[in-house]
Amino acid sequence: MWFKNVRVYKLSAPLSTDVAEWEQALTEFKFTPLTAQEAVRTGFSFPLHHSIKQYCHQCDHLVFFAVKRQEKILPAAVINEEMQPKLEAMEQEKGRPLSRKEKQSLKEELQLSLLPRAFSRSSLTQGYYDPQNQWLVINTSSASKAEDVLALLRKALGSLPALPWLDNHKLNASLQLWLQNQALPQGFVQGSDAELKAPDEEGAKVKFSNHLLTADEVQSHLQDKLVTSISLEQSEGLSVQITDDGAIKRIKFHDLLTSQNDELGWEDLTARLDADLMLMAAALNKALLSISQQLGTAE
């Protein structure tokens, strides 16, 4: 349950924190396995643990949820191998090459016929609603996956006035300053990783890993490039990589933090998971709030 990457969205209107309402709403869109002819399916699953059958879990003031996605795996090589003899047979029958539209139709028919024999792959994306900050925090680095989660939440809850949590213009300006070791969010110091990209058509890129970012060879790139990501660190909290589209990636929680609940053991699974969730969310929210305050986007 320790989030590794997050996409954060700010709500313009509060959501209900009634767990019974959430449970009923999410249950109506619960996950069910794929049928033989389906390629992909999503639905709400159990956020805490597969043995704890609740679609909504409240921990302190936070409301946790999870979306499960299941999809059939059809490798392109398999499709092409199956398609080639059928393509050749149809072209021979018609006495001409097939058109692009005909080829696409043949491919879709073939994919449909292969679906019942395809393996399926499942993934779980967790998230939580923070009513104090009016945030939705989704455990993914992918904007498209986060949007899929928001779309399903919107169906279940009826409305979801959510926008990305940071202003891109302010963020881009701050990234330039942070690489210069200036105006860092409170409690953070500069990390050792950064990426920059030139804004012209060529888009030259440079990446630094485990590097002293204040070194002249790094700073000189600010003359003709924009910072697209940079790592920031806390001494006893967490380290993150923040990108120019507002994603928080490569979250690493300090060992002193993750080990705080070790004495609780795992005999009471719910109690232990709750304790870990509270630790994780408190540290993550503190970091997010510091970043948003530095950018002047926190209320």
Pull the structure tokens for residue 8.
Answer: 């954060």
Q: Cα–Cα–Cα angle for 77, 82, 87, nearest 5°?
A: 115
Q: What is the C-alpha separation between 16 and 21, in angstroms, rounded? A: 8
Alpha helix (H) residue ranges in the chain: 19-27, 76-94, 100-114, 143-157, 168-179, 216-219, 255-258, 269-294
Contacts of 20 (CB under 8 A, 6+ apart): none
The torsion angles phi and psi of 271, rounded to 5 degrees, stand at -65, -40
Tell which residue, 255, 258, 286, has the closest CA to residue 272. 258
pTM for this model (two decimals) = 0.86
Tens-level pLDDT at each residue, the chain (299 residues): 799 999 999 999 999 999 999 999 999 999 999 888 888 899 999 999 888 999 999 998 999 999 999 998 888 888 888 888 888 888 888 888 888 898 888 888 888 888 887 888 899 999 999 999 999 999 999 999 999 999 999 999 988 999 999 998 999 999 999 999 999 999 999 999 999 999 988 889 999 999 999 999 999 999 999 999 999 999 888 999 999 999 999 999 999 899 999 988 999 999 999 999 999 999 999 999 999 999 876 55
Task: Give the other-Cβ count within 10 Å of 102's Cβ.
Answer: 15
- Helix (H, G, I), strand (E, B), or coil: what is residue 25? helix
Contacts of 228 (CB under 8 A, 6+ apart): 175, 195, 196, 197, 205, 243, 244
Q: Cα–Cα–Cα angle for 183, 167, 245, nearest 5°?
A: 90
